[in-house]
Every structure is written in C-alpha cells, then in structure tokens.
Amino acid sequence: MKQIVANMAGTIINVLVNEGDEVRSGADVVMLESMKMEVPVAAETSGRVTAIKVNVGDFVNEGDVLIELEG
C-alpha cells in the first residue's frame, strides 16, 4: 500500500479523486489551504485510490496521510 501525505499543514479545501480512481504520478489529488494560499498535493506514484482519509474542512499537519493507493 502506498500513501499520499500532506506536504504542509493546512485545511483540506477539495479532494480531487474518488475511491477506485486510477491516479498517475504527478497528478494533483487534494487541494490544501495554507497561509491563505491554495497548495496542491500531488501523487508521488501511480496507483488506484483505495481510501480517502480526510474530508473537506479537516485540518491536517505535515506528514498526515490523506489518501491510500494500491498498485
């Protein structure tokens, strides 16, 4: 299992993928808002989304798991 983690602390403003979606390495999967700026979080590897661990409005810290991938 692979994990996509938050690259910085912030609030989740959008989740751009659904469970079961195939994502490619480099694609944006979540939008965070940090210090009044939208910060995209990209997948580092390709895979299929098996779990979305956050909801819009959640506050996350750097390193928190946002999404789990397989494959």
Partner 1 sequence: MKIKTILIANRGEIARRIIRTCKAKGIRTIAVHSEADAPMPFVREADAAVVIGPPPVVKSYLNMEAIIQAAKDHGVDAIHPGYGLLSENGNFARRCAEEGIVFIGPRPEVMEDMGDKIRARTRMMEAGIPVVPGYNGSIADAEEACSIAADIGYPVMLKASAGGGGIGMQVCENEEEVRKAFQSAKGRAKAYFGNDDMFIEKYIEEPHHIEVQIAGDEHGHIIHLFERECSIQRRHQKVIEESPSPFLDDVTREAICRTAVQAAQAVGYTGVGTVEFIMNGEQEFFFLEMNTRLQVEHPVTEAVTGFDLVEMQLMIAEEKALTISQEEVIQRGHAIELRIYAEDPITFMPSPGTISRYEQPEGKGIRVDDAVESGSTITPYYDPMIGKLIVSGNTRAEAIARAEEALAQYVIDGIKTNLPMLGDVLRDEAFVAGTYTTQFVQQMKRTTNK
**Site size with partner 1, rule: CB under 8 A:** 11
Site string for partner 1, 12-41 (x = CB under 8 A): -x--------------------xxxx-x--
State the minimum distance, in angstroms, from the CB of residue 50 to partner 1: 27
Indicate the Cα dihedral angle 14, 50, 59, 57, nearest 10°. 40
If one asks whether residue 55 binds partner 1 (CB under 8 A), the answer comes out as no
* Interface residues toward partner 1, by CB under 8 A: 8-11, 13, 34-37, 39, 59
